[in-house]
Amino acid sequence: MSTLTPPSDLRHRDSGADRRMWWGLAVLTLPVLLVSMDFSVLYLAIPAITDALTPTASEQLWILDIYGFLIAGLLITMGNVGDRVGRRRILLAGATLFGVASVIAAFAPNAAILIAARALMGVGGATLMPSSLSLIANMFPNARDRAKAIGVWTAAFAGGSAIGPVIGGVLLHHFWWGSVFLINVPVLAVLFIAGPRLVPEYRAPDAARFDVVGVVLSMMGILPLVYAVKTMASDGLTVGVAGIGVFGVVLLALFLAHQCRATAPLLDLALFRNPQFSAAVSVALVGMMALGGMSYLTGVYLQSVRGFDVLSAALAGLPMAVAVAVFSIGASRVVAAMGLRSAFVGSVLLAAVGNLGLLALTMSSPLWVYLVFTSIAGIGYGIQFSVVSDVVVGSVPVERSGAASGISETSFELGTAMGLALLGSLATLVFRENSQGWTFEDTLGDTLHRAGEMGSGGDELVSAARVAFVDGMHAASLAAVIALGILAVVLTFVMRKRPADGVRHEDTTRA
């Protein structure tokens, strides 16, 4: 039985959402903010965790990565589960798991317990993202209201990722490392109190059998592939890692073949016949690849090349975060003024210009160069990611929006992993090739550490390593510009028509 919003709550839907729905949206941004913040909050906390728990190098990698692995592997599955058992129900269940796991992580006595807690946080996080986005489709069927709401949702996600290191730095300055996890608890308490009052329940009326085989194949395909991509980014390509990646690709191929035959598939391949849906997923993939590579490389540049401390480097990233947040919320106005295709293409080109500006960064360039061009890129990313979510959610019937949002968010996660792997690997390759006769370590940080042990004799090594890293960053930035430029050309030809209501093709007023 479908548990749709009662008619009394629909009284303003034809002319726009009422105040209660906007308060409900504010509640839905809370878990999204936490999920994205917990991706980046450990960037500052990991040294303190290393001192307290003494993890091995492998354990440290898993502390950082297991959270993202499980989110990427479970997004599609949890989107479908929410469609079937109830989106608000799965949202609150996921929040419960996320909160409990956060407390366990905060007081973990050893690395193994912390890894397990981070894994549970990943499972919980995978339920929070698609359920919150798909509930927006149910709460805001009016195209204009929905676009604004998704802009707010996107801004919360981008903002959480940006402020994670800043919040982490402030907490670590005053408290122990576990405080970066405990901050989740009061925020989730607000969700538990306000969620049942302000967020309507919805589940799809479709009672078709759940695709258990599809769940297994998708996880066995996505998890090894994401692991291989991330490992290549940090350790380079090896036979074992390549084998894991190939295994993931094969399982994903089997998953797609199974989806073609399944009566109630997890992944509706027919969605990709819609050129706007396919274009949106491509933008999510390529856009996050460029953003992930930019964030990683410029973070190293600010700290290891220019000498900023970690908190100062995080603060330097705030202008871009503000740009992303502001233009995520304003993306609907940009689309209304320019049209969907022009907004998409223009936002991708802005991101390309921002990445192109990184070529102006040198060993001594003023900080404003970094701030200006990353902010330009932030404007582009804010528009495109908001429009991606709107197009994806609006391209499907409301009862399938959870599954569709799982596809887009999986593309975001895979895009980030690809950015770290492909662009990070390219930067590392150039870094090593431009060694000027010196023998570099695997990373700039390790090379600088070895130079420090050499005393005054390591000054030339420091200078050569920093120049080589900037060369690698330039090469990666140029590659991102080329990828974004190609994407802009493809979008120009693919997205020739805009649906009458902005995005959704069918009547979304459901009672």
Residue 357 in contact with residue 372, Cβ under 8 Å? yes
Residue 269 in contact with residue 277, Cβ under 8 Å? no
Rounded CA-CA distance 232/243 in Å is 12
The distance in angstroms from the start CA to the end CA of the chain is 13
Q: Mean pLDDT throughout 211-239? A: 74
* Residue 411: closest CA among 143, 156, 226: 226
Q: How far is CA 164 from CA 181, 184, 240, 283, 309, in A?
A: 11, 12, 33, 24, 16
pLDDT at 337 over 50: yes
* CA contacts within 13 A on the Cβ side of 196: 7
Rounded CA-CA distance 284/279 in Å is 9
Confidence of residue 437 (pLDDT cuts 50, 70, 90): low
pLDDT at 99 over 90: no
Q: How far is CA 321 from CA 25, 31, 172, 298, 377, in A?
A: 20, 18, 21, 14, 10
Residue 411 in contact with residue 285, Cβ under 8 Å? yes
Confidence of residue 503 (pLDDT cuts 50, 70, 90): very low
Rounded CA-CA distance 213/218 in Å is 8
Q: Mean pLDDT throughout 491-500? A: 67
pLDDT at 358 over 80: yes
The whole-model pTM stands at 0.71
C-beta neighbour count of 453 within 10 angstroms: 8
Largest CA distance in the chain: 77
Q: Looking at per-residue confidence, does 336 or 369 come out higher?
A: 369
In the chain, the percentage of residues whose pLDDT exceeds 90 is 9
pLDDT at 402 over 80: no
CB contact set of 225 (below 8 Å; sequence gap of 6+): 245, 248, 249, 252, 414
Q: Looking at per-residue confidence, does 210 or 153 come out higher?
A: 153
Rounded CA-CA distance 80/64 in Å is 27
* SS3 (DSSP) at 81: helix
pLDDT at 85 over 80: no
Least confident of 19-33, 87-101, 216-230, 400-414: 400-414
Residue matched to tokens 């006595």: 109
Burial profile 261-287: b = 16 or more Cβ within 10 angstroms, e = fewer: ebeebbbbeebeebebbbbbbbbbbbb
Rounded CA-CA distance 98/338 in Å is 40
Q: Looking at per-residue confidence, does 357 or 463 come out higher?
A: 357
Q: Mean pLDDT throughout 494-499? A: 62
How do residues 120-140 score in pLDDT, each as one tens digit?
988 888 887 777 777 777 777
